[in-house]
Amino acid sequence: MEMLLLQTEQLPCLLAASRSRMVQSWDPTTLTRALNWGHFFRQLHSRLRAQPTLREALKQQLKKRGLVRLSHLKCCPELLGLALLENPALSSTTRHSLFCSFLIPATGGAEPFINLLARRRAAYQLLGLLESPTKGAAGIEQWEGLPVRVQAQMLLSQLQGDRDGDGNQGRSSSALLDCLPCGSMLYRVVAAALMEPGWEMEAKVLLVPWLLFGDPARLLSFCRFLPPRCLASLCAHYSELLASYLSFLSAWGNCLSYNPLHGKWQTSGLKENEVPWEEMQDRVSCLYQEPEPLGSAVQTWLRQLKAQDGNFEVRGLSIWTDLLLDMEMPHFERKLDSR
């Protein structure tokens, strides 16, 4: 057991080195040793299937030390190969050796990794081409979601596979998601996965806890990056998200102050996550327009905040009064008022 732990503890160092500038000094011999380590970890994962007692003991020890999970052993060659391919510090000679190693036919009838990588990259590039010819709003609406949805389906499949393989429910899912680079694309993919038809139960088990119970800054960034209508749809499907989203909206709204000279609400410019008045209107309006019971919940939330502010009925004294008046205004009058 101790020998297995010593070996698996080398995996984080190997992956970190493959992403660093250390690879500048790697020659083909060093590359071969690194790739052999990747295949060793995959073979170790495969052999542990036949030894459930040892597998469970190793899994518990890895969990206690917080370094890697069994699922990382399984996909080590892919993680290592992608890191090296995307690392510009790798010399041209070593990169050529890397491609050659991927092109060698796999044993046991398995598909060579380079084939799988090429097919996925080609599919993504094709979907990207489909969205580029049309620049109008209709074209963006028609094609923008295709690459994201493909990645969302791949993410759900990977998460489901990890859960089935390790039996640890959302733990391996969180580990995989935490390894992905954060940013608007990751949040768009997660949002698309949450809305993927037929995967609602899996998404609720695998993705919602990652959003709600992990790093608080993650959920805040998720709500800031995503479009208001997308977030409104997610809140309609997953009530767990609504309370957190309304809490963020309350904080953003309290940062606004009324400028009587210009006759509108403005940000102070002192805080990083301030949201302009127009965006607040859009976000609240999208929530309000969702089917019941979401619309009533938002209306109740606005009335509570309005009461806390003094229950004013005149515009310009409370942002919650103004938002509530906007939401309760008949659609036709609201449209005329916005012109």
The domain ranges of the chain are: 1-105+113-121, 147-155+176-329
Q: How confident is the model at residue 319 (pLDDT cuts 50, 70, 90)?
A: very high
Q: Is the dihedral of CA 235, 241, 247, 248 positive or negative?
A: negative
- Determine which of 31-45, 46-60, 120-134, 150-164 has the lowest per-residue pLDDT on average: 120-134
Q: Higher pLDDT residue, 71 or 276?
A: 276
Confidence of residue 284 (pLDDT cuts 50, 70, 90): very high
Q: Is the pLDDT of residue 68 over 80?
A: no
Kindly indicate the confidence band of residue 130, based on its pLDDT and cuts at 50, 70 and 90: very low
Q: Find out whether 150 and 189 touch, Cβ atoms under 8 Å.
A: no
Alpha helices by DSSP H, 170-262: 170-179, 184-194, 200-206, 208-212, 216-225, 228-237, 239-254
Q: Maximum CA pair distance of the chain?
A: 76
Instruction: Examine the pLDDT at 25 and tell me if it is beyond 80.
Output: yes
Residue 217's pLDDT is what? 84
pLDDT digits (tens, 9 = 90+) for 145-178: 556 776 777 777 777 665 544 444 444 455 556 5
For residues 35 and 280, what is the distance between their CA atoms, to the nearest angstrom? Answer: 51
pLDDT digits (tens, 9 = 90+) for 233-259: 999 988 889 999 999 999 999 989 988
pTM over 0.75: no
Average pLDDT over the chain reads: 76
Question: How many percent of the chain have pLDDT more than 70?
Answer: 73
* Average pLDDT, integer, range 65-73: 69
Question: With the C-alpha atoms ordered 233, 237, 240, 242, is the resulting torsion angle positive or negative?
Answer: positive
pLDDT of residue 248: 93
Q: In this model, does residue 106 exceed pLDDT 60?
A: no
pLDDT band at 300 (very low <50, low <70, confident <90, very high): very high
Spatial separation of the C-alpha atoms in residues 16 and 83, rounded to whole Å: 9
Residue 266 bridge partners (DSSP):
257
147-155+176-329 — its CATH code?
1.25.40.490
Under the banding of pLDDT at 50, 70 and 90, the label for residue 28 is confident
Least confident of 13-17, 48-52, 112-116, 139-143: 139-143
pLDDT at 206 over 50: yes
Identify which of 194, 245, 255 has the alpha carbon closest to the alpha carbon of residue 220: 245
pLDDT recorded at residue 178: 59
Q: In terms of C-beta density within 10 A (0-12 exposed, 13-18 middle, 19 or more buried), how is residue 62 classed?
A: buried
